[in-house]
Amino acid sequence: MDAKRVGVDAEHEMWWGQYQIPVGAARYWRVGALDLFVTRKEQGWLVQSFENRLDDAALPPLEMAREIDWMPENTAADVVHYRVPDQADLLTLLPRLADRPVVSRPRMPFNVGPGATVTLYVGTPLWMELRAGNEALLLCELPLMRPLQTWFGASTYEGELCYAGRTHCRTHAEEVPLRPWRAMSPLRLENQGTTGWLLDRLALPVPQLPLFGAPDGRLWTSSLSTRRNAEGELGDIRIGSSVPNEPGPWTELGKPRQGGSSSVLGRFYGKLF
């Protein structure tokens, strides 16, 4: 039986959506660094996942719901049998933003000149959420590319655990390669000061951002903005509530994990850069 996909355009690289998998059938996905094998059992789902240790550039192309008749024997893989009451054949895959802020360091020093305004496109890693049945019961969340960890704070005893990332500090959306295992965040920086603004690190409060998907397979968060005033002081970060400015149409795929700015980032944003 064909891997039937419900309600999405399979030609594009949109790995998220609903899949119908009959009892006894197995499917394989490869998104980012994740190898995922899902088998539909009589009363549940068998999920085998394996994280490859590869760089962004070395990642193989996407595989979506390829039919397989065997499960690979991989001792390093995680195998979990989920028994769920909902007996429907539906499997829903959804992208999720990180559950902690992501601190990205520019790959090369980036300086916002005096009086300049610039929009940077910063990528953050995504997780895949597996939900089963008509009621979409949550089975698990798997990282599409497990990020490294870092500490963000004024000292080693005050701060917050974050994920670490590197950014190319791209200033044009079209320069950003299509990577459906990452979400892009447009960050608008306005320097009203009389000296240059050297960006050391950018901390994005991704748990407070909504996630949007475009038909071409790109994933975006809402936009962010901040400014540095004439005295050189950094303002608070502002989260745009609307969909990204880039051409749509956009589908909202996920609400923010956290509401408000209760995290340390809200308070320490002045030391972000």
Partner 1 sequence: MEVAAAVGVDRLFDIARALLVLVVGLMLARLAARAAERLLLAHQNRQVAMLARKGVFWSLLGLTLVTTLHQLGFNLGVLLGAAGILTVAIGFASQTSASNLISGLFLLGEKPFSVGDIITVGDVTGEVLSIDALSVKLRTFDNVFVRIPNESILKDRVRTLSRFPIRRFDLKLTVAFEEDLTQLEKVLRATSDGNQIALQDPRPLFMLLGFEEWGIGVQFSVWAPRADLFTLRTSLTREVQEALKAAGIRIPYRRLEVSGPAEVASQQPSGAAPDER
Instruction: Say how many CA atoms lie within 13 Å of 31 toward its Cβ.
Output: 29
Report residue 104 CA to chain centroid gap. Answer: 14
Report residue 253 CA to chain centroid gap. Answer: 11
> Closer CB to partner 1, residue 45 or residue 152?
152
Q: What is the dihedral of CA 234, 237, 242, 245, to 10 degrees?
A: 40
> Closer CB to partner 1, residue 41 or residue 146?
146
- Smallest distance from partner 1 to CB 262, Å: 16
> Closer CB to partner 1, residue 26 or residue 33?
33
Interface residues with partner 1 (CB under 8 A)? 53, 103, 146, 148-152, 156-157, 159, 161, 164, 201
- Smallest distance from partner 1 to CB 143, Å: 10
Residue 40 CA: distances (Å) to CA of 15, 16, 24, 90, 176: 18, 18, 5, 10, 37
> Closer CB to partner 1, residue 53 or residue 172?
53
- Smallest distance from partner 1 to CB 209, Å: 22
- Smallest distance from partner 1 to CB 105, Å: 8
- Smallest distance from partner 1 to CB 126, Å: 17
> Closer CB to partner 1, residue 43 or residue 149?
149
- Smallest distance from partner 1 to CB 159, Å: 8
> Closer CB to partner 1, residue 22 or residue 266?
266
